[in-house]
Amino acid sequence: MLPICTPFLRGRLKKVIAIYPGSFDPPTNGHLDLIERGSKIFDELIVAILRNPEKAPLFGLDERKNMLEAMTEGLRNVCVDTFDGLMVDYALKVKANVVLRGIRAISDYEYELQMALMNRKLQPELETVFLMPAEQYSYLSSRLVQEVAQLGGSVAGLVPPLVEQRLREKLDPAIKLQPPIELKKRKK
Ligand code: PNS
């Protein structure tokens, strides 16, 4: 028989609503991996894109929202939103009790710890939960994807095909991404 610690609470436990905040410029397969993992753990997962007037992003807010919505179309408990100001204020507004963040390598830890503790100081009720993406995405970042794409390298397998397409549209005609392998073969 399965152990049940608090049988009287079963079925009426508090819903766990998580936000996954970030810049997502552009969203990568690492982000998607984390969203999929989060959607299995939390009742609701809100992917929250930061509107940061101080940064000039490659993709506008609406473009990033549109890409993330398409990427998460099949995940019924996931939605995409935008926010500005303090993340803890946004969390309060959407009644989230958890912040989801990814940790890829030990190098992420210091910054993430600082941010999690500052957020805890600001809003003690809000818990930060860290998840690790699949190993194949442990070196992946939006900044590197942007750089590789801008210099004409292939980002296939690092971002969803839709994002790859949007990158190509954004950077073409100045800089072209490498054509897909099938195209290269056909040209020979
Ligand atoms: O994808 P990123 O750029 O690593 O995400 C960073 C983000 C958006 C989570 C962080 O910069 C943030 O929460 N900004 C909102 C402003 C805020 O609350 N600042 C205090 C953080 S301790």
Closest atom of ligand 1 relative to the 90 alpha carbon = 18
Asked whether residue 177 carries a pLDDT value surpassing 90, the answer given is no
Q: State pLDDT tens for residues 73-83.
A: 999 999 999 99
Asked whether residue 187 carries a pLDDT value surpassing 60, the answer given is no
What lies within 8 Å, CB to CB, of 55 at 6+ separation is 23
What lies within 8 Å, CB to CB, of 90 at 6+ separation is 19, 21, 48, 83
The mean pLDDT value for 110-125 works out to 98
Looking at this protein, which amino acid is placed at residue 85? G
* pLDDT of the residue at 55: 84
Q: State pLDDT tens for residues 39-86.
A: 999 999 999 999 988 889 999 999 999 999 999 999 999 999 999 999
Q: What is the DSSP string of 140-178?
A: --HHHHHHHHHTT---BTTB-HHHHHHHHHHHTTTSPPP
Looking at this protein, which amino acid is placed at residue 76? R
**Structure token digits, residue 117:** 């503790």
- The residue nearest atom 16 of ligand 1, judged by CA position, is 86
Hey, which of 34, 46, 50 would you mutate to test ligand 1's pocket, going by the most ligand atoms within 8 Å of its Cβ?
50
- The residue nearest atom 3 of ligand 1, judged by CA position, is 23
